[in-house]
Amino acid sequence: DAKTTQPTSMDCAEGRAANLPCNHSTISGNEYVYWYRQIHSQGPQYIIHGLKNNETNEMASLIITEDRKSSTLILPHATLRDTAVYYCIVRVANQAGTALIFGKGTTLSVSS
Amino acid sequence: GAGVSQSPSNKVTEKGKDVELRCDPISGHTALYWYRQSLGQGLEFLIYFQGNSAPDKSGLPSDRFSAERTGGSVSTLTIQRTQQEDSAVYLCASSLVGAPVRFFGPGTRLTVL
């Protein structure tokens, strides 16, 4: 069973904010939400992760709903180089952690 | 080294041959992952090593695939009797247990003729 649901594709204009949604309605209390991306022909790149509080780093912001059943990754000013497949993953992150499983992700296309 | 390294970077083999792919994780990283990515496809989880615990082998596609991790460091992924559908980029990643997986190797591109 897929733990997350993401739209297959999204478009965004360069310079605008890209808001990528993810549903994880069966998330457990000890599971974190992780976001990765893969730019064409490159390896995966970690973006951000969070448990229940909103998080921000130099790449993006992560907004998690209060019930933790969904989240949104925000790229505040998308550039052409942000065109990639974005993966939302839920995973336990403790000593008995589980494998990091990538789903199909959202293909984000940023255009000028 | 400073990052995860993999060897060889490219491997061309004939159908039916065995191949070994190597991953050198970042020193001190006790968690190690293998993935593969076929052309135009997503990342497919293969196996996960976590410290001294039994590895999670749930992603291995067939019994032709096996992996080991010696001394908690270097890992070798072995594919026996390779088939053309095994052609893919094989990626390795490592992390501290419980930490985000940030470090992926450059991959080994396997081509089975």
Residue A1 has pLDDT above 50, yes or no: no
Task: Compute CA distances B21 → A31, A92, B7, B33, whole Å.
Answer: 32, 28, 6, 13
Could you give the 3-state DSSP secondary structure of residue B73?
A: coil
Nearest CA in chain B to A42: B106
CA A13 vs. chain centroid, Å, equals 19
Residues B32-85: tens digit of each pLDDT: 999 999 988 889 999 999 888 889 999 999 999 999 998 879 999 999 999 999
Cβ separation B33–A101 shorter than 8 A:
no
Residue that is written with structure tokens 């733990």 in the block? A3
Cβ separation A101–B45 shorter than 8 A:
yes
Of A37-46, A70-79, A94-103, the least confident: A94-103
Look at residues B14, B25, B21, B13 and name the one whose alpha carbon lies nearest to residue B50: B25
Look at residues B66, B72, B26 and name the one whose alpha carbon lies nearest to residue B53: B72
Paired with B93 in beta bridges are B33, B104
Residue B25 has pLDDT above 80, yes or no: yes
User: What pLDDT, on the 0 to 100 scale, is given for residue B1?
Assistant: 53
Per-residue buried b or exposed e for B10-27, using 16+ beta carbons within 10 Å of the residue's own CB: ebebeeeeebebebbbbe
Chain B neighbors of A97, CB-CB under 8 A: 31, 50, 97-98
Chain-wide mean pLDDT for chain A?
Answer: 92
% residues pLDDT > 90 (chain A): 78
Rounded to 5°, angle at Cα A109 from A99 and B110: 50
- For residue A97, name the pLDDT band (cuts at 50, 70, 90): low
